[in-house]
Structures are given as structure tokens and as C-alpha cells.
Amino acid sequence: MSALKLLVAVVISTASTLTAGVVGALPITAAARAWDEAAFNDCAEGYEAQREDDYVSWYYGVRQCCISFGGVWHEQQPGQAARCDAPPRIVRVPPGGILETFSPSPPSGSAIAPRSR
């Protein structure tokens, strides 16, 4: 097999592997965005006993609960506590978006007279 044929075969197999990996990962990513607040609360509750004794373990444990159950983790900032929020809603607009546009009608009772020259 020539070097060129070998190179082409490697490129094609790599591209097909990468494509399969990306396509296979899409359902997992979409499924991970489903927010299960009750499961997050149950998971985070398990770490509450550590909060006083080992804050770092508590922090990273609750953070992992948030991410695992589809939440959006907001890191602790000066003056703000760390928190877990529901993921933002994704609103899908159908192709074409606006189907009709409406112009305002003139107020009733006001007739516009044509100009005379």
C-alpha cells in the first residue's frame, strides 16, 4: 500500500470515528439538560452534614449534584453564595418565524383627504 493510500485511509477512518462520537454524544448532552430538582435536593441533602466540618468537600459535592442532575452551577463570588439553578429554557422558533405582519389602522373618524394641486 502506498503512503498516499495509507494517509487517505487514516483520514477517512479518523473522520468517521469523530463523526460517530459527536453524533453519539448529542442525545447524552440533550438528556443531561433535563433538570431534576427533587433528585438534586436529595443528593445535596446528603452533603449537609459536611458543611460545617469540611466546607470544601461539601462545596464540591453539592456542585457535582447540581451538574449531575442537569442544573447550572454558579461559582461562589465575593458577597454571593454559590447556587444551583435550573437550566434556561430553550425556545425554538419555527423556520420563517413571523408569518404575518400587521399595520396599524388609522384612528376611526379621521378621514385623510386627498391633496389638491
Report the distance separating Cα 68 and Cα 60, nearest Å.
12
pLDDT digits (tens, 9 = 90+) for 28-79: 444 446 889 999 999 999 999 888 899 899 999 999 999 999 999 999 888 8
Give the pLDDT score at 98.
62
pTM metric for this prediction: 0.50
Give the pLDDT score at 117.
59
Give the pLDDT score at 75.
92
pLDDT confidence band for 88 (50 / 70 / 90) = confident
Pairing of strands 72-74, 83-85: antiparallel
Ranges of each domain in the chain: 1-32, 35-87
pLDDT digits (tens, 9 = 90+) for 6-38: 444 544 555 444 444 444 444 444 444 688 999
Report the distance separating Cα 48 and Cα 41, nearest Å.
11
